[in-house]
Amino acid sequence: MKSELKSVGLRQKETENKLLDISTKLDKVTKALNLDISNLALGKPAYGCKDFDGRSNPNHVVDGDKGGNRIAGQCFTSHASVPKPWWMVDLQGNYDVHNVTLYRRTDGYAYRFHDLEVLVFKENPMNTSTAQPMTCAQKKGRLSRPEVLVCNPSTTGRYVMLHYIPPNREYLTICEVVVRGKLIKGKAVDNLTRENNYKQLHT
């Protein structure tokens, strides 16, 4: 009996050591990739209005790269023909959105980063014309880098959109968006799916 208990204890200890080793390796990978696992937008599907050129892509804004060089393909910029430019991310779950952090470009045109509004939708506004937005936050005037916008209480939804506060019109350039909040309903994308999305953005 004692030998059996000792054997079970050894196997349990061995399992704990393996789990600790896996956890340590995962932490190292996360740090090496510079991932922010608390960022709900990381690797999620992103959309935008017509983009400026081949260097611009909505997915650049959720790839974890906080660099601000548009020419190097680190940002999304709207096309000149779009009168009301916008960018949006699908969090793939319903969240109580606490705050949104915005990163502008660093290679010029900082004066264009102004008078922005963050909206949150429960339904996809691209597919549902009756989708009602909730105003997360607004910031008039020039925005800093990074700019943390704290949401109004009880701002809940799945889709987070960024656009200019009407009637302002300008090229919209955004290089990274970090969304933080708490899951309130539905099922969020698991870590493996998030990791796969991240890898696809970088291949």
Q: Could you list the mean pLDDT of each consecutive 10-residue stretch along the chain, which spans 203 residues?
A: 54 55 46 64 97 93 96 95 96 97 96 96 94 97 96 97 93 97 70 43 42
pLDDT score for 173: 97
pLDDT score for 200: 46
pLDDT score for 12: 58
pLDDT score for 27: 44
Nearest to 97 by CA among 173, 185, 174: 185
pLDDT score for 92: 97
Third-level CATH fold of 46-201:
Jelly Rolls (2.60.120)
Task: Give 15: exposed, middle or buried? Use CB within 10 Å, 0-12, 13-18, 19+.
Answer: exposed
Decide: 87 and 72 in contact? Cβ < 8 Å: no
pLDDT score for 102: 98
pLDDT score for 138: 97
